[in-house]
Structure 1
Amino acid sequence: MLEGKAIWRMQIDEELNDDIQLPISNLTKKLLVKRGIRNTEKAKKFLSPNLEDLYDPFLFPDMKKAVSRIEEAIVNGEMILVFGDYDADGVTSTALLVEALREKDAMVDFYIPNRFTEGYGPNENAFRQAYEAGVSLIITVDTGIAAVEEARIAKELGMDLIITDHHEPQEELPEALAIIHPKIPEGYPFGELAGVGVSFKLAQAILGSVPLHLIELAAIGTVADLVTLQDENRVIVYYGLQALTSTNRPGIKMLKEIASIEGDVTEEHIGFAIGPRLNAVGRLQDASLAVELLLEEDIDQAKHIADEIQSLNQQRQQIVAEITQEAMTIIQESNDKEDSVFVVAKEGWNPGVLGIVASRLVNEYNKPAIVLAIDEERGEAKGSARSIEAFNLFENCMELKSLFISFGGHSQAAGMTLTLENVDKLRKELNALAQEKLTEKDFSPILSVDFAVHLSELSLDTIHEIGQLSPFGMGNPKPLFEIKSQLPSEIRQIGSKLNHLKMSFQYEQTNLDVIGFSMGDLYPKISPHSKIAIVGELGINEWNGRKKMQMMLKDLKVQEWQMFDYRGTRHLSKQMSHLDSGKSKVCLHYSDISTNDLWLKEKFLCIQAEEWSSQQKTSNGNVEELLLYDLPPKLEDLTVILKSVKPKFIHVYFKTDEQNYFSQTPTRDHFKTFYGMIMKRGLLDLKKERTAYANKNGWSNEFLDFIIKVFLELQFVKIENGVLYYNPKPTKKDLTDSATYQLKLNQVEVEKTLYYSSYTELKNWFSKQLGISNLKEEVVHGL
């Protein structure tokens, strides 16, 4: 048995109906239904997004007012300032609107607040600087909905303020000339636009048509900000990815080159390559450089900026790695490693990357994590938090809101500032809440599996069709499929460091390759004869013009106990080198462990068979892994022990002394031959005739000695001074009355059952002793 790293949550398999009348597979129809798409019209729109499905930007109640004021500013030659944010959504929002305004010949500049000196959102000093620079109209993008005080200052200074934002509105709204927000006031039909999506709608209204030349910027910010990829967002990203694939924008071309993006650009390229690089700038310095890259028209200058951004991204990666390692060290070396929620803090940490560090801690430990940078001068700690699905970070922290100077976020992520004296209080009280609300299972990651499929249901065409559900993301996750327990036709480690896992599964003419990146450590934990259940994402691998079905592995399970067969090996230590030590690992031995095998005591609790009962009481009888070091005298001896445990793994070694265990066993005919000879001759001088007589019959001396020992025990013969004499009046007895003969029979049965049996025969024997039936699995496999 091998447990999965995650809990596989199988989504409810809703019944398929005939409301989707399209020439697509039932598999694809079921995926659409799971995404809330239940009729033909909605399915067509989802599978074939159309620009005509974009909503009229003037459905925003304040859009007309905003556009009118912008047009007035352009006509009057007023200075317009686009006030953005330092993340990827913010910088793309800024670049998009600046470019749209420049197209209308507006006098426009942009401003991105510094994360470290100004923090998030509009601020009084920035607004006053803008006023002194002659700005009369400020347009915020991806920020501003909480800027109540800053809006008052703008009004006081005589500057008009247009707010475009998508973040959750507060109880009090800023007093602005116009607020363009998909959720307030009610009226706009889609409330989940990213900041750049709102900026795109404003650009659409200003320019009078859908600005397709800007849609690539909208796609980057939409994917990077992790908003739901449904409805209008889906249309934006669908066409934005096409635009990114054939882009002529110098800055994006250089980003693609640096990130080695070739061919069709996907949402994953944005999420793992383009977005992180744009985000890296604002995490380390002023994010204006990222906006400049997106607006740059000269290819050489764009390359120079892109190289600088790449350098910043590499620095960011190094800083994240260092802080993550430091945070993990703090956790491991403190008394808090058993905490349900980790709160780690240190002076000198870069606040701009702490969200990433928190995410890595969550991935490593499957526990909520808060990572804080200490500012001794201010007596404050500032940082970010990430959580697990079962623990709502926002709700639980709001129960402790008195501990924070500032706090904001949602269920899975948050940012916060608090006094240094409250850090320990936060750790203590959050852990108390977590212990009250969470169970042990809550700390396991969760994989939401769409449904189980059989290999017979898969084909290149089906997987290609499933791909039409892309772009994938929030609200439209990449489908996860389970393939039930099946014996792989191949399993091996791959990669220069053998740190990846490759498996192949076959059913009739269907072949599926499975790749598990960074899962190579699982290879020695899977018996070659074990059936494996897998969960992953289906795709198509194309190499040298040949296409093959492939699954990217997310998790696997072996749902039956496993047997690892080391019988006859001379390299046990090497083959078991991957095993860690543990109290639940037990080595059972009947004879003493040889000197060469004393390393076993470092990995196993070694128990001699005669001490089994008392030792088991000491270890509470919890045996997950059982190593059978040598053969028992009788099968019953081992059976009794096996009935007292339920191991997930049995390692079969059965170390043998070849001289004792690989010898021939005399048959009754051999005994008759010898008895006839001794009865006829009356005696046999063992000192003179033993070897010659054995050789004459093709026996070894040990073979002959065994027969003699049995006859001596049965008193069929007697020995005096090395001479064996026939007993003319023996008591009638059977060979089985001899203890030596009986021991040999037991040995033969033990060897035949445990040592000379095939893998399948031995595993079946163990299953029977463990009270486990293989019938159910065999029937299912047969079906």
Structure 2
Amino acid sequence: MLKSKANWKFSNGTDQNDSSNSMIDSLFQERGILTIEDKEHFLHPSLEKIQSPTNFHQIEKAKERIFKAIEQDEKMIVYGDYDADGVTSTAVLMSALMELGANCDYYIPNRFEEGYGLHEVAMKKLSNQGVSVIITVDTGIANTVEADFAKVLGMDLIITDHHEIQDEIPDAYAIIHPKTSPNYSFKQLAGVGVAFQFAHYLLDYMPTHLLDLVAIGTIADLVPLLGENRIFAYHGIKQLAKTENIGIQVLKKHCKLMDDVTERDIGFIIAPRLNAVGRIADANIAVDLLLTEDEEEAIQIAEYIEKLNTERQQIVNKIVKEAEQHVNDEDGIIILYDENWHEGVLGIAASRLVKRYDRPVMMLTYKKETDELKGSARSIPAFNLFDHCMAINDLFTNFGGHSQAAGMTFPLEHLEQIKTILNEKIFEQLSPDDFKQEIQISQSIAITQMTEELVQQINMFAPFGMKNEEPVFHLKKIPTQLRQIGQDKNHLKLQFKQKDIVVDAIGFRMGHLFYYISPNTEVSVVGKLQLNEWNGNKTVQILLDDIAVNEWQLFDYRGRRHDKNIVPYLSHFKNNTVVVNSNKQIDDVIGYEDVHIFTYESDVSTIRKSDILYLYDLPYDLDILRKIIQQANPSCIHVSYGVTEDAYLQTLPTRDDFKWLYGYLVKYSPIHLKVDLPKVVHMKKWTNERVVFILKVFLDLKFITVQDDVIYVNKNSEKTDLHQSRTYQLRLKQSNIEKTLYYSTYDELKQWLEQNVTFDRTNREELLHEL
């Protein structure tokens, strides 16, 4: 058995293939898209379906103020945020204002010195510079105090934002926000979507040339890719392919992106680089890249951003590595801090650790000057981090976020209290299985259904993202091939065949699982379908998200007993039980935790339930082996024994052999072992072992006696069947053990184990239920 890393949840509640609906119909149903008209709109997003920006409350008032400022040459500031949504929002609105001839500039607060949102110090500085109008993008809806301060300074504040509305709405000159606009029906725009709609209204035409920026900000901000967000992302990705933005052109080239850009390219290549600037340095640099019309300047900025992104990656890797050294396996929520950890990347580091440890993680840096801890947290689906922290909000200096992500500041002296309370809550609320991540699976699929046509149909549902996740499929089949791939064998490749159809399954960073999948075993895999093109040939492959084996497994290393063949299993499984012969030294397993060593002569009742049972030596009795396996009730059995006697390959002497040697002894008795036995060996071309075996049988049956290396024939012995000899019986028994357990094929050995061992089915069903 190989347990899945995540909890698998099927959309239809079962892993059975629903043949009553086509794959595509099922995908529509999952998204609540049922009518022909809705399907058409979804598959072919049209910009005509974008609402008129006039539906935004107070947008006309905001436009009139801006045009007045333009006419009177008043100085305006676009006040943004330092993430990808914030910088693209800033670039969109700046582009529109510059096109209108406005006297404008932009301001992005420093993450480390100012933090998120409007700040009075910055506003006063801007006022002193002659700014009379501030237009926020992707921020401002929570800044009630700062809105009042703007009035004190004599500045008009126009807020464009998309974040959640707080108990009190700022008293600003105008607020453009979907959730303060009853007539604007789509409430889930990203900040850049709101900025684009405002730019649209200011320009009196839809600036489709700016949709590349809208796609980047929308996808980066992880808003639901449905409705207007889907339309913006869909057409924005198309615009990215032919972008006129010099900065984006250079960035694409620098990242080795071709003309066709996908949502994955935005999410994993473009957005992280734009975010890296605000995390490590000054996010104004990212806006400069998106606004520049000078290719040389764009190249210099792109190179600098690449350097910052590399630095960000190195910092994250270092922090994660250091944090791993301090993780306590007993904690339900991991809370760690260090004075030297860079606060700009703590959210990324926390996400990494959540994926590794399947627990909420809070990563903090220590502020010596205030004796406070400040940082970010990420959670697991089953634990609402926001609600539980809000319940103890009095312990935090600052706290904000949502169920799965949050930022916080609190006094160092509150650390242990926060940690204790959150650990108590998580253990009260969650079972061990609840800690695992979730994978939502669309449906099971057969090899014959994995066609190029199906993949192309699925791709029509792109761009994928929040609320429109790329479909994950489930396949259960015996792989025809299993191997590690990659220079460092870090990746896993399985191959499945049915008739003439061959499908590969690729698991990146799953190479270690190679050891835990035995031959001829039905494997369950879940992943996304892709087209792989090589030398002009297109084949369907599965990009694996997770893998599991739902039956007990036999790992066969017979005759290859070596630490390299057992160590991967000792470090992977819990409740390891090793069975050896008496007085056997097994240095390979010494030093590993959770390893219990028994001999075939131990009290079987002391063997506990085991995840894996290692048979290190051949047993001397098959019945004892049966009892050991039944007591251990393992989900896996690992065999690495060899043979020392080769009883099975040494054919038993025939009855004629016994008669001949007995006749020889009678004729020449007494026989001197050291003198006469070599003559027998030479005469009959027998081995010494064969002769010694026959003599031991004669001794058992009292046909002979031996004194001082001299054999005497007992002429008064009774006629007795050879099977009465203990030596003869042991040889037959050992031969049968070797035949059954060593010289059998893999399938024969597994079949024998299944026929002769009664596994605890109840326990197995409980384990399977975890999947």
Is TM more than 0.5 here? yes
| Counterpart selection for 2:429 from 437, 446, 455 | 437
Pick one of 458, 464, 472 that aligns with 2:456: 464
Secondary structure of the corresponding residue to residue 425 of structure 1: helix
Code of the residue aligned with 1:490 in structure 2: it is Q
- Shift of residue 28, structure 1, vs aligned partner: 1.5
Superposed displacement of residue 527, structure 1? 2.2
One-letter amino acid matched to 1:663: Q
Kept in 1, the 8 Å contact 2:94–2:104? The answer is yes
Q: Partner amino acid for 2:637?
A: I
Q: Tell me the residue number matched to 1:116.
A: 112
| Alpha-carbon RMSD | 2.6
CA contact (8 A) 1:664 1:703 kept: no
**Of residues 182, 193, 207 in structure 2, which corresponds to 1:186?**
182
Distance 1:643 1:430 in 2: 41
Matching residue within 477, 489, 510 for 2:480: 489
Which residue of 2 is the match for residue 300 of structure 1?
Answer: 296
Q: Quick one: which amino acid aligns to residue 98 of structure 1?
A: M
Checking the alignment, whether the CA contact within 8 Å between 2:82 and 2:108 is kept in structure 1 is yes
Kindly provide the CA deviation profile for residues 74-103 of structure 1, in whole angstroms up to 9, marking residues without a partner as x.
233222221111111001000000101111
**Equivalent residue in structure 1 for 2:389, among 378, 381, 397:** 397
Name 1:731's counterpart in structure 2: 718
Deviation by residue 1:482-527 (Cα, 9 ceiling, x = unmatched): 111x222221111111111112111111111111111111112222
1:587 matches 2:578: yes
TM-score (norm 2): 0.93
1:58-69 matches, cutoff 5 A: 58-69=54-65
Q: 1:423 to 1:605 in 2, by over 3 A?
A: closer
Per the TM alignment, residue 187 of structure 1 is displaced from its structure 2 partner at its CA by 2.2
Describe how 1:27-66 pairs up with structure 2 within 5 A.
27-66=23-62
* Structure 1 match to 2:768: none
Counterpart residue type for residue 182 of structure 1:
P
- The answer on 1:251 being equivalent to 2:247 is yes
Provide the C-alpha distance between the structure 2 equivalents of 1:629 and 1:253, rounded to a whole number of angstroms. Answer: 62
Report the equivalent of 2:441: 449
Decide whether the 8 Å contact of 1:625 with 1:649 is kept in 2.
yes
Aligned: 1:528 with 2:503: no
Cα separation, 2, equivalents of 1:759 and 1:745: 22
For the 8 Å contact 2:576–2:596, the answer to whether it is kept is yes
User: Which residue of the other structure, out of 491, 509, 516, is the alignment partner of 1:518?
Assistant: 509
The one-letter amino acid paired with 2:3 is E
Kindly indicate whether the alpha-carbon contact (under 8 Å) linking 2:17 and 2:445 is maintained by their aligned counterparts in 1.
no
2:597 is the counterpart of 1:606: yes
Aligned partners of 2:80 and 2:89 also within 8 Å? yes
1:567 aligns with 2:563: no
Quote the offset at 1:203 in angstroms.
1.1
Unaligned 5+ runs, structure 1: 20-24, 778-783
Q: Any residues of structure 2 matched to 1:714-725 within 5 Å, and which?
A: 714-717=701-704
> Distance in 2 between the 1:628 and 1:323 partners?
41
Q: How does 1:218-367 map to 2 (within 5 A)?
A: 218-329=214-325, 331-332=326-327, 336-367=328-359
Corresponding residue for 1:635?
Answer: 622
Q: CA deviation at 1:556?
A: 0.9
Counterpart amino acid of residue 612 in structure 2: E
Which residue in 2 is equivalent to 1:385? 377
> Aligned partner of 2:506: which letter?
I
CA contact 1:514–1:552 (8 Å) conserved in 2: yes
Q: Deviations over 1:645-694 (max 9, x none)?
A: 11222221223225666422124454455557767x58574545544444
| Change in 2 beyond 3 A, CA 1:344/1:709 | closer
Q: CA deviation at 1:232?
A: 0.4
State how far apart, in whole Å, the 2-side matches of 1:533 and 1:663 are: 43
* Partners of 2:445 and 2:660 in 1: CA distance: 65
CA drift of 1:29 comes to: 1.5
Q: Distance in 2 between matches of 1:243 and 1:206?
A: 21
What is the SS of the residue equivalent to 2:640? strand
TM-score scaled by length of structure 1: 0.91
2:10 counterpart residue number: 10
- Kindly indicate whether the alpha-carbon contact (under 8 Å) linking 1:13 and 1:451 is maintained by their aligned counterparts in 2: no
Q: Which amino acid aligns with 1:188?
A: Y
Amino acid at match of 1:645: A
Within the candidate set 209, 213, 222, 1:213 is matched to 209
In structure 2, the partner of 1:136 is: 132
Structure 1 counterpart of 2:650, from 654, 657, 663: 663
* One-letter identity of the residue aligned with 1:11: S
Q: Say how many residue pairs are matched.
A: 758
Distance 1:327-1:602 versus aligned 2 partners, 3 A rule: closer
C-alpha distance after superposition, 1:704-741 (max 9, x if no partner): 33223223322345567767666666434322222111
Deviation at 1:180, TM superposition (A): 1.1
Counterparts of 2:415 and 2:294, CA distance in 1: 49
CA separation in 2, counterparts of 1:248 and 1:307?
20
| 1:368 to partner: Cα distance | 1.0
Q: Alignment identity in percent? A: 44
Secondary structure of the residue aligned to 2:348 is helix
User: What displacement does 1:159 show?
Assistant: 2.3
Q: Note the C-alpha offset of 1:377.
A: 1.5
SS of the aligned residue for 1:578 comes to helix
SS at match of 2:422: helix
Separation of aligned partners in 1, 2:301 and 2:445: 48
Residues 327 and 18 of structure 1: is their aligned pair in 2 closer, same or farther, counting only changes over 3 Å?
Answer: closer
Q: How much does 1:400 deviate?
A: 0.3
2: distance between equivalents of 1:181 and 1:524? 54
Stretch of structure 1 that moved more, 389-398 or 763-772: 763-772
Distance 1:685 1:676 in 2: 12
Q: Which amino acid aligns with 2:371?
A: G
Shift of the alpha carbon at 1:583? 7.1
SS of 1:197 mapped into structure 2: helix
Distance in 2, Cα, partners of 1:400 & 1:69: 43
Give 1:764's aligned residue: 751
Q: Which residue of 2 aligns with 1:22?
A: none
- Asked if 1:89 is matched to 2:85, the reply is yes
> Aligned partner of 2:488: which letter?
K
Shift of 1:4: 1.6
Which residue identity lines up with residue 510 of structure 1 in the other structure? I
Question: For the Cα contact (< 8 Å) 1:89–1:142, is it kept in 2?
Answer: yes
Using the alignment, how far apart are the partners of 1:674 and 1:773 within structure 2? 52
